[in-house]
Structure 1
Amino acid sequence: MDCRPSPTAAAGAEAPPPTTYRIGYALSPKKVESFIQPSLLNLAKQRHIHLLPIDLHKPLSHQGPFDCLLHKLSGPDWTQQLRHFSSLHPDVPIIDPPDAVLRLHDRLSMLQVVRDLHLPEPIDESDSSSSSSCSFGIPHQVLVPDPQHLREQGLPSPLEFPVIAKPLLADGTASSHQMSLVFNHQGLKQLEEEEEEAPFVLQEFVNHGGVVFKVYVVGDYVQCVKRRSLPDILMDDDKALGRLGASHHNLLTFSQISNLAAAAPPSSSSFKNNDEQQLQEEEEEEAAQMPPVSFLARLAKALRNALGLHLFNFDVIRDGRFGNRSTKEVLRLMVGIGPVGY
């Protein structure tokens, strides 16, 4: 006996309803205002995804059900809630696990990941020629446990001026974004007197043409965009340092590099204040070539595997000390890394 449905019955059968995914998200109010727009909610619904806000005033374990958790919060209480939720619902992915994110809250440990990184070989042989001209590294940096250390030791080796002072903790708070660009020993003395957040790190400043490449990683997806950055620094040009706004040409304090770059005069990178130079710099910024996509993809994959993260970003700059060597450009990439949203 043939039990197969007749063609007529099959044609009239209703298709099974599409699978619906419930994504719980926990973001700061500022991030919610920026990202959770009606257009995003509508687009998610079209793809059968329900974005559900997590109530931070209630225990996470009492909420749901969720197919996935997406968060950009930190702190001991929240971390404990995530761990408890994961123990109750081990099959629900958390993007990203708090223990993996914590590694990026320390400016020493985050760059150690890059130092120890080994890139996979190119899968496509046609990519090998462009990727072979690329190398990567991290800027030299030294931990300063307290300002007294600077008074006793001065500028730590192997650093040379200028240097950037950054809080060791990188947890997305306002204080973690407070930085200083130090031009000389007098600026270092000012830093000793003004620095309140200890410990902190001193990091070498690398001239990079005033352009930073921000690479965003979402799972296997990689997107690179250009952003303005700090201009190149000419240490023998006092007028240049003055136009940067440095206090007595010794120290420049700012909250975020992107904010400082946006506020700086467009002509600061060469320090020639005229319309022709400004136009030239804007053209140079526009013409700055992206690093090879294949190389960034391999770098992103290696970082993703090393960090155990699915959602993060890293910054890449061209090291101005490397340029045309023989017939091929040596692209020396200085890499900094951080979780998206912090």
Structure 2
Amino acid sequence: MAEPLKRYGIGYALAPKKQASFIQLSLINLAKERGIDLIKIDTDKPLIDQGPFDCLLHKLYGDDWKRQLKHYSSENPNSLIIDSPEAIERLHNRISMLQAVTELEIECETGTASFGIPKQTVIYDAKIVSEIYLENEGLKFPVIAKPLVADGSAKSHKMLLVFNKDGLRKLTPPIVLQEFVNHGGVIFKVYVVGDYVKCVKRKSLPDVKEDNLGRLESYLPFSQVSNLNNCEKNDDKYYKLMNLENAELPPLSLITDIARGLRLATKLHLFNFDVIRDNRVGNRYLVIDINYFPGYAKMPNYERVLTDFFWDVLNRKDKGFESLKKVNCEKEVRVLVGSSVCGEDEGALPVSPLKIEENENPIQV
């Protein structure tokens, strides 16, 4: 008589919107067939009073939740937690987020594709915004203005394309100024689930012609940037650029190396990162953003990919499961960086003396 299938319980604590998109019936049923039960954690009750779970999946923030996770982990040392709050919080700061890319040790052969990050600087003081000279920071117009905090809130997604000095004066720090790089209107989203890596193409911001800058407003929200080239949309070339079918994916080996390197550098198992191709150098790619626990339901065949990941973690077959065992409460040292990495001769941009130290960072998570 065959032995009954061993069952595992994975408790999940997700915000309502994330739960609605991720916990689909198709995922629940497929996991159940593999002996994995997905169990909703009641966030109105103490975590310690629930479970115990073989694995805990979460995307909640705040000091109270961190305390609950630490308490739960101490009482249930064999329960795996995906992922450490401290590791996740690194992605809540747009400077420390991309610093992870500069930590990668990936050998790039001469003449092949290279990678890096855009040049960027962070400003904390409103007075400095109106006085800053982009040239001193290695930047020029247009620049992308992003909130320093990237915690998934509506406010953190409010990004602007700034075309001149007047636009800078209207910004509210703390804010990151990042170089805008023409990239053919295509962005590559790379999903990482443990050892699994998947790259897909998506439409992005259109290219901006330098000779148009003088005729543009001081800044535009990202939602309106698509209207920049209305006068050019009758041009066949424009449509060709926006045709995703014609956009060539980055080299798979490069994307896989970056994904695995970021997994080690961040100690995270569920994330995605956005990549663009620098039009100035056709075989150069820039990592512009990293997000924790993204919208996996948009990824092809996400149910199988996630179920396989859960199975590997629960059966200790996932190569990185050691980092899931305990909730780490040590603080990480963060560095503010400019532009560097594989295939680059120049070093990182120096941190401007106008910026405050990282331990004074007013980020609330």
Q: What range is the shorter-chain TM-score in?
A: 0.7 to 0.9
Contact 2:118 2:286 in 1 (8 A): no
Give the structure 2 partner of residue 336 of structure 1: 289
* Aligned counterpart in structure 1 of residue 33 of structure 2, from 46, 49, 62: 46
- SS of residue paired to 1:70: strand
Q: CA deviation at 1:271?
A: 5.0
Q: CA deviation at 1:296?
A: 1.1
Return closer, same or farther for 1:101/1:43 CA change in 2, 3 Å cut-off.
Answer: same
Contact 1:162 1:204 in 2 (8 A): yes
Consecutive unaligned residues of structure 1, counting only runs of 5 or more, are: 1-13, 122-127, 243-248, 324-329
What are the residue-to-residue correspondences of 1:136-147 with 2, within 5 Å? 136-147=115-126
* Aligned counterpart in structure 1 of residue 92 of structure 2, from 105, 130, 137: 105
1:69 maps onto 2:56 in alignment: yes
- State how far apart, in whole Å, the 1-side matches of 2:59 and 2:133 are: 38
Return closer, same or farther for 1:333/1:154 CA change in 2, 3 Å cut-off.
Answer: closer
Q: Report Cα offsets for 1:137-162 as digits up to 9, x if no partner.
A: 11111111122112233435211101
Moved over 6 A (4+): none
Q: Report Cα offsets for 1:262-290 as digits up to 9, x if no partner.
A: xx35xx5695132745543443x321111
- State how far apart, in whole Å, the 1-side matches of 2:198 and 2:133 are: 41
Give the structure 2 partner of residue 326 of structure 1: none
- SS of residue paired to 2:52: coil
What are the residue-to-residue correspondences of 1:240-319 with 2, within 5 Å? 249-254=217-222, 264=226, 271-274=231-234, 276-277=236-237, 279-283=239-243, 285-319=244-278
Give the residue type in structure 2 aligned to 1:152: E
Return closer, same or farther for 1:232/1:276 CA change in 2, 3 Å cut-off.
Answer: closer
Q: Report Cα offsets for 1:108-162 as digits up to 9, x if no partner.
A: 111111112112x6xxxxxx87x96111111111111122112233435211101
1:15 maps onto 2:33 in alignment: no
Give the residue type in structure 2 aligned to 1:16: E
- State how far apart, in whole Å, the 1-side matches of 2:242 and 2:266 are: 36
Consecutive unaligned residues of structure 2, counting only runs of 5 or more, are: 296-365
CA radius of gyration, larger in: 1
Q: CA deviation at 1:189?
A: 2.4
Give the structure 2 partner of residue 179 of structure 1: 159
- SS of residue paired to 2:232: coil
Return closer, same or farther for 1:66/1:199 CA change in 2, 3 Å cut-off.
Answer: same
Q: CA deviation at 1:260?
A: 5.7
Give the residue type in structure 1 aligned to 2:186: V
Return closer, same or farther for 1:183/1:233 CA change in 2, 3 Å cut-off.
Answer: same
- State how far apart, in whole Å, the 1-side matches of 2:79 and 2:67 are: 16
- State how far apart, in whole Å, the 1-side matches of 2:95 and 2:36 are: 38
Q: CA deviation at 1:334?
A: 3.5
- State how far apart, in whole Å, the 2-side matches of 1:292 and 1:74 are: 35
- SS of residue paired to 1:208: coil
- State how far apart, in whole Å, the 2-side matches of 1:168 and 1:238 are: 25
- State how far apart, in whole Å, the 2-side matches of 1:229 and 1:312 are: 20
What are the residue-to-residue correspondences of 1:86-165 with 2, within 5 Å? 86-119=73-106, 133-155=112-134, 156-165=136-145
- SS of residue paired to 1:237: helix
- SS of residue paired to 1:78: helix
- SS of residue paired to 2:182: coil
- SS of residue paired to 2:280: coil
Q: CA deviation at 1:341?
A: 3.2
Contact 1:138 1:336 in 2 (8 A): no
- State how far apart, in whole Å, the 2-side matches of 1:320 and 1:238 are: 18
Contact 2:186 2:242 in 1 (8 A): no
Identify which of structures 1 and 2 has the higher relative contact order when contacts are C-alpha pairs closer than 8 Å and 6+ apart: 2
Give the residue type in structure 2 aligned to 1:232: D
Return closer, same or farther for 1:282/1:164 CA change in 2, 3 Å cut-off.
Answer: closer
TM-score with structure 1 setting the length: 0.80
Seq. identity, %: 53
Give the residue type in structure 1 aligned to 2:71: H
Contact 2:185 2:242 in 1 (8 A): no
Contact 2:98 2:117 in 1 (8 A): yes
Contact 1:163 1:202 in 2 (8 A): yes
- State how far apart, in whole Å, the 2-side matches of 1:51 and 1:219 are: 18
* Aligned counterpart in structure 1 of residue 206 of structure 2, from 201, 226, 231: 231
